[in-house]
Amino acid sequence: MAQDSDTISMQMRGGLRRLAKAVVVITTKKDGQRHAMAATAVSELSMDPPSMLICVNQSASLHPILESGADFCINILDAAHVHISAACSGKVKGEARFEIGSWADSSIDIPRLEDAQASFVCRQTKQVPYGSHSIFIGDVVEVFSSEAVDPLVYVDGRYTRVGEDVAATA
């Protein structure tokens, strides 16, 4: 017997607590106003053309800006950036989110975090609404990377960092 969608949704949330993801801040600019939000639902899409996708809840304040066609930047946070993630997760609003951290404009005038693990500046090329979210696809036009690899990770409702390497056995 098939389970109802509420049960599946609850079970899915529990299962996804086990999916460790790098924490990112998505940034954009519209009419000279900068916008940012923390997220984990991002992914590489293709290397030809180089492209990324982000999934944004339709109730998020960033959604209508992206829906209007705004370009965006995906900033992968460093383990030391917990305060930036917290600010961009709702504790701080609007332009005040950019008072924390060191921000610069990309070549297409989208804000990027200067000391991010990596920043992918994207020209938006496609939108796909689905359920409660929309998928925004962007072609990567600029990439910035730090030398150290120490991303902020979110798993089981908490922040952590990458730990000790685990040897693969075959």
pLDDT above 90 for 167: no
Mean pLDDT computed over 123-141: 97
CATH 2.30.110.10 given to domain 22-146:
yes
Confidence of residue 92 (pLDDT cuts 50, 70, 90): confident
Tell me the mean pLDDT in the region 116-124: 98
pTM of the model: 0.92
Q: CA 32, 37, 41, 42 torsion: positive or negative?
A: positive
**5 token code pair:** 């969608």
Q: Which of 54, 62, 65, 67 is nearest to 22 (CA)?
A: 54
pLDDT of residue 111: 98
Residue 163 has pLDDT above 90, yes or no: no
Average pLDDT over residues 65-70: 98
**Residue 17: per-residue pLDDT:** 87
- Where exactly are the structural domains of the chain? 22-146
